[in-house]
């Protein structure tokens, strides 16, 4: 026979953890290694002072559906270790996730060894919980942090990581706060006002409507993918922001699309993303899409601002396209104090109407990818494209591809009317 599972020990103070796990967490200032399963009661705080605390592979801290706090010098979750606040019950309050805030003077580390990972899980049936980290040092996530729905009706959770140093996630890490088809995606934020943020894997906040993903770095920011799609009935895409005191590198696909309606209630709108490199360059190396659902949704918005230059690779199309005959396109805006080099396509077209593509550079603009702001379908209105170089002095515009703001044709019996065309504005400030 297999041995019976050990019951979790209810605690409300760090001293109770020490008294029940003394061999690994002695009653002194040495590191506290938690090897047993503990449940934190509602409203309690485990204050370990300046001690380093590690939840070992055999250990677990569970807040159930309660609200609790942990304070320590450093805090780690070893491979196979678990920190939980899962709401797996059928009725309140146990169908909701818990709330845990971890506050440290030093680092926080969710570890991994090969395929074995430390896990932080605040998923739930009704509404996922909240996992907050306020770290004085670096935050490193190689394992998993999830706050997902466990049912199609389940609501979103919250993951908030705030560091006094850097925030780094591994290439195999999972960070997700997904809602069900009948709710929104969750809220995920990474805040490192004094350091850099380097996200090694995509971040997921999908839901019936997409959730919110925010990245704030005092230094550079590297983002390797954002998913915040609205997958419900006429669901709309979510919102994202990436703000960096230095440079921004978008090194993974961003998907903020809306979706159509199986009940024919209309199409969801595309989401929005704001990217800002406050004292550096912004590089876009992978696609960013914020498209609407068919037949009549509105495209979303993509805004990129850089005090340096903006570079868009050919493999990084930008699309706020409106899907369907009655849709409208969204808006794309690239604004750099130095140069804009755009090699990928930009699509702000819609069935009923195209929208706006604006490019502004303090110096030069090189545009080698197609710009599409058409009103594609019959009777559709064309959008507009604005290209301004030399906005901070002198600059040149080089256009090596098509800029199309045409409108759709209106067809009558035996007649073909002219399309309703939009406008293109090109300003080249190269004169002395």
Predicted confidence (pLDDT) at residue 412 exceeds the cutoff of 60: no
Q: Strand runs (DSSP E) across 105-186, as ranges?
A: 108-110, 112-113, 116-117, 119-121, 130-135, 139-141, 144-146, 158-163, 167-169, 174-176
> What's the pLDDT at 346?
98
Give the pair of three-digit tokens for residue 57: 């592979």
Rounded Cα gap, residues 29 and 15, in angstroms = 12
Q: Say if residues 197 and 222 touch (Cβ distance below 8 Å).
A: yes
Is residue 278 within 8 Å of 311, Cβ to Cβ? no
Average pLDDT, the chain: 93
What local confidence, expressed as pLDDT, does residue 356 receive?
96
What does the pLDDT read at residue 4?
35
User: What band does 1 get if pLDDT is binned at 50, 70 and 90?
Assistant: very low
Query: Is 414 a member of any domain?
Result: yes
pLDDT digits (tens, 9 = 90+) for 166-205: 999 999 999 999 998 888 999 999 999 999 999 999 999 9
Report pLDDT for 407. Answer: 87
- Whether 1 is covered by a domain: the verdict is no
The pLDDT of 38-63, averaged and rounded, is: 98
pLDDT of residue 359: 97
pLDDT(335) > 80: yes
Contact 144, 170 (CB under 8 A): no
pTM over 0.75: yes
The residue segments making up the domain with residue 241 are: 10-428
* Listed residue (361, 354, 358) closest to 375, CA to CA: 354
Query: What is the average pLDDT across 84-96?
Result: 95
Average pLDDT over residues 72-82: 98
Q: Supply the pLDDT for residue 410.
A: 47
Residue 3 has pLDDT above 50, yes or no: no
Question: Residue 411: is its pLDDT beyond 50?
Answer: no
d(CA 335, CA 329): 20
Domain-located, residue 3: no
Q: Report, as an integer, the average pLDDT of 298-313.
A: 98
**What does the pLDDT read at residue 324?**
93
Instruction: Read off the tokens for 140.
Output: 């490193």
At 372-388, the pLDDT tens digits run 999 999 888 999 999 99
Highest mean pLDDT among 6-10, 121-125, 403-407: 121-125
pLDDT tens by residue, 231-267? 999 999 999 999 999 999 999 999 999 999 887 788 9
Q: Residue 419: its pLDDT value, please? A: 54
The residue to which tokens 């808006």 are assigned: 331
Helix (H, G, I), strand (E, B) or coil at 171: coil
Residue 6's pLDDT is 58
User: Does residue 404 lie within any of the structural domains?
Assistant: yes
Q: Is the pLDDT of residue 417 over 70?
A: no
| Overall domain count for the chain | 1
In a domain, 182, yes or no: yes
Check residue 59 and give its pLDDT. Answer: 98
CATH of the domain at 53: 2.160.20
pLDDT computed for residue 312 by the predictor? 98
**Can you state the percent helix, strand and coil of the chain, rounding each to 5?**
0, 45, 55
Does residue 432 have a pLDDT over 70? no
| Inside any domain, residue 2 | no
Place of tokens 């159509």: 260
Residue 114 reports pLDDT greater than 70: yes
H or E stretch at 17? helix 14-20
Percent of the chain surpassing pLDDT 90: 87
């Amino acid at each position: 026979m297999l041995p019976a599972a050990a019951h979790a020990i209810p605690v409300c103070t760090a001293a109770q953890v020490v008294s029940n796990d003394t061999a690994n967490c002695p009653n002194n200032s040495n590191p506290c290694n938690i090897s047993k399963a503990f449940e934190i009661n509602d409203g309690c705080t485990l204050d370990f002072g300046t001690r380093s605390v590690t939840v070992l592979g055999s250990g677990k801290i569970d807040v159930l559906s309660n609200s609790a706090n942990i304070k320590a010098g450093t805090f780690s979750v070893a491979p196979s270790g678990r920190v939980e606040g899962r709401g797996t019950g059928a009725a309140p309050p146990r169908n909701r996730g818990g709330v845990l805030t971890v506050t440290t003077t030093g680092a926080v580390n969710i570890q991994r060894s090969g395929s074995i990972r430390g896990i932080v899980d605040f998923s739930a049936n009704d509404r996922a919980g909240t996992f907050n980290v306020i770290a004085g040092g670096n935050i490193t996530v190689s394992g998993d942090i999830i706050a997902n729905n466990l049912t199609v009706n389940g609501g979103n959770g919250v993951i908030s990581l705030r560091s006094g140093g850097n925030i780094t996630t591994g290439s195999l890490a999972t960070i997700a706060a997904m809602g069900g088809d009948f709710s929104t995606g969750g809220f995920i934020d990474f805040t490192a006002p004094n350091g850099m943020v380097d996200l090694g894997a995509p971040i997921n906040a999908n839901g019936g409507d997409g959730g919110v993903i925010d990245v704030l770095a005092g230094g550079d920011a590297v983002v390797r993918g954002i998913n915040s799609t609205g997958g419900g009935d006429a669901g709309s895409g979510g919102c994202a922001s990436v703000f960096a005191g230095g440079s921004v590198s978008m090194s993974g696909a961003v998907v903020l699309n809306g979706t159509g309606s199986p009940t024919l209630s209309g199409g969801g709108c595309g989401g929005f993303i704001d990217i800002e490199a406050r004292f550096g360059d912004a590089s876009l190396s992978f696609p960013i899409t914020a498209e609407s659902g068919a037949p009549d949704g509105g495209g979303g918005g993509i805004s990129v601002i850089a005090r340096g230059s903006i570079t868009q690779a050919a493999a990084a199309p930008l699309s706020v396209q409106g899907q369907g005959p009655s849709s409208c396109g969204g808006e794309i805006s690239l604004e750099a104090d130095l140069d804009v080099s755009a090699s990928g396509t930009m699509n702000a077209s819609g069935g009923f109407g195209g929208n706006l593509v604006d490019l502004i550079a303090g110096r030069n603009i090189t545009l080698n990818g197609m710009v599409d702001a058409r009103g594609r379908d019959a009777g559709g209105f064309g959008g507009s494209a604005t290209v301004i170089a030399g906005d901070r002095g002198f600059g040149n515009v080089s256009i090596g591809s098509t800029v199309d703001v045409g409108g759709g044709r209106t067809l009558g019996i035996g007649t073909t009317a002219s399309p309703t065309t939009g406008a293109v504005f090109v300003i080249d400030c190269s004169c002395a």
